[in-house]
Structure 1
Amino acid sequence: MLKIDAHQHFWVFDPVRDSWINDEMKVIQRDFLPPELDFVLRESGMDGCVAVQADQSEEQNAFLLGLTEGHDFIKGIVGWVDLQADNIEERLEHYSHTKLMKGFRHVLQGEANRALMLEPAFKRGISLLHKYGFTYDILIFPDQLKFATKLAKEFPDQKFVLDHIAKPYIKDGKIDSWSAEIEQLAACPNVYCKVSGMVTEADWHNWTNDTFKRYLDVVFKAFGTKRTMFGSDWPVCLVAGDYTRVKAIVSEYCSQFTADEQDMIFGGNATTFYNL
């Protein structure tokens, strides 16, 4: 079974477009391209990855799809389309002919309208994804979990995956309301969860693997081992820890599970979800 990193990014750094990468994150104010990740993955015993959009444009889709040429360790792409556009079905039909485009994502965490995903135009776009075999990555903060649950219930045939365990407030030690809403979302059998993006929600310079244990307890109790998948969030993770350390958080925690369950978390579930 392939070992898959279900969530990482590539970019050619642009200080204007990538203004979210502020000076506090200087370590990632540079280009990150496939040859570098190929080395990192091999070093960590991983076979492949899913590359996720880092810019909300169809130019980004073309960029990511172009990177797959000659880099067969990139097993799939999660791109971006304007789900609210009048021509959304035309765009989905277009991407259905690209073998490696597996799904789409919108940066809902950054929207002023916290419930944008429940607007009629957005839901119309979501309603068409299943027809073309596309998945949807849910990128949100904890205050939006209740909206994600409503969305998942409304589209039971659509495959959703929650990115970064919804970015709980790990640095502040908050867990209760997030925990309760994770359980509600996980009650939807069409929703998976990426065990990713945790180190950037902690104190970047003062965390240990134990920092994340109680959050992982919640996630694995809620989603189980059949709907969870490891993602590094490389290179964003580098602001708080290198690839080896980030992977070790999940590897150490999952050592309590059977070898088969670990294989699913580190590749099998991503392969199934994204049809890699």
Structure 2
Amino acid sequence: MVIDAHQHFWDPARADYPWMMAPELAPIRRAFGPADLAPLLQANGIDASIVVQCRSSLAETEEFLATAHATPSVIGVVGWADLTDAALGDALDRLRTLPGGAKLVGIRHQVHDEADPEWLLRTEVQRGLAEIFARDLAYDFLVRTRELPAAIATAKAFPQARFVLDHAAKPPIAAGGSAEWSERIAQLAACDNVWCKVSGLATEAKWDDWDAERLFPYLRHVANCFGEDRLIFGSDWPVCLLAGSYSEIKSALEACLAKLGPSVREKAFGVNAKAAYRLAG
């Protein structure tokens, strides 16, 4: 099974997406749903996908579970829930009773938008993470270089849990890279309970001036750090459309992974996602 482990659905006419208000994001400020994604998956040889939260909303998570229930190609949902809520456990249990609830595989929060770089280490957040892991769900890190120390400490605090790093912590590709990012990625990868999504890289480069060759050093670094068993492909569609088409993004990442060896490419396009999220089938 070939899996796109990171894609989104949204409709700005029905809900607010504060992060989408920047003028340069106007091209993707419209509705994107399963009917838009289906032909892209078919054209690019993708069998299934995992839909990932876009806003801090339990209602969105419920909608994604309903969508997954009605859409066989959506095999997992990484939703949102309030980690600081003392009743988080009850909320997660309720989500699992809904149609599509069995497809809830993880939880995510936009940590890089929090003012506090150590937000993950707050007592109430750590308590919430414990509730997530008690239900055998994964947690997706949405962080940049600034928040990586807190992510490292969190991964060490829950050695039996499963974490997935989104977008390789968004390396500053357009700015020419960062030694700090490289060093912290290596430190996080030393925690063997963390997988890394090679997603969203093109949109961290200059949108109108990138190619696979320019992405490759960053992908090679995370591959060297995480190894072939902990790299996961994700398109980050439709955010990726800011930099290129679904096919262009997939082809560039596939070319980079193939340069690292056939087993690296094969595992990143399915096997590793199934392990990280404990997907059935």
Q: How does the TM-score come out when normalised to structure 2?
A: 0.94
Q: Which amino acid aligns with 2:269?
A: F
- Match of 1:138? 141
SS for the counterpart of 1:20 is helix
What is the CA RMSD across the aligned residues, in angstroms? 1.3
Contact 2:170 2:201 in 1 (8 A): yes
Q: Which amino acid aligns with 2:38?
A: D
Higher deviation after alignment, 188-197 or 244-253: 244-253
2:186 is equivalent to residue 187 of structure 1: no
Alignment map for 1:35-50 (pairs within 5 Å): 35-50=35-50
Compute the displacement of 1:93 (Å): 2.1
Compute the displacement of 1:94 (Å): 2.0
Q: Deviation string for 1:57-88 (max 9, x for gaps)? A: 11101111121233100000000111111101
Contact 1:4 1:266 in 2 (8 A): yes
Q: Which amino acid aligns with 1:165?
A: A
1: distance between equivalents of 2:266 and 2:184? 27
Higher deviation after alignment, 158-167 or 266-275: 266-275
2: distance between equivalents of 1:19 and 1:117? 21
Alignment map for 1:1-276 (pairs within 5 Å): 2-14=1-13, 17-21=16-20, 22-97=22-97, 98-276=101-279
Identity, in percent, stands at 37
Distance change in 2, residues 1:221/1:109 (3 Å): same
Higher deviation after alignment, 179-188 or 205-214: 205-214
Higher deviation after alignment, 127-136 or 13-22: 13-22
SS for the counterpart of 1:255 is helix
Higher deviation after alignment, 249-258 or 185-194: 249-258
SS for the counterpart of 2:159 is coil
Q: Deviation string for 1:25-44 (max 9, x for gaps)? A: 22111100001101101100
Distance change in 2, residues 1:214/1:259 (3 Å): closer
Structure 1 residue ranges, 4+ long, deviating more than 6 angstroms after superposition:
none
Q: Deviation string for 1:1-49 (max 9, x for gaps)? A: x100010100112497123223212211110000110110110000010
Q: Deviation string for 1:220-275 (max 9, x for gaps)? A: 00001100100000000101111111111211112134444322100111112112
Q: Which amino acid aligns with 1:9?
A: H
Q: Which amino acid aligns with 1:17?
A: D
Compute the displacement of 1:92 (Å): 2.1
1: distance between equivalents of 2:163 and 2:174? 27
Q: Deviation string for 1:190-245 (max 9, x for gaps)? A: 00000001111111111111111111111000001100100000000101111111
Residue correspondences, number: 275
Q: Deviation string for 1:145-178 (max 9, x for gaps)? A: 1110000001101100000000111100022110
Q: Deviation string for 1:92-116 (max 9, x for gaps)? A: 2223442011110010010011110
Higher deviation after alignment, 106-115 or 8-17: 8-17
Contact 1:129 1:158 in 2 (8 A): no
Runs of 5+ consecutive residues of structure 1 not aligned to the other structure: none
Runs of 5+ consecutive residues of structure 2 not aligned to the other structure: none
2: distance between equivalents of 1:165 and 1:223? 11
2: distance between equivalents of 1:207 and 1:272? 31
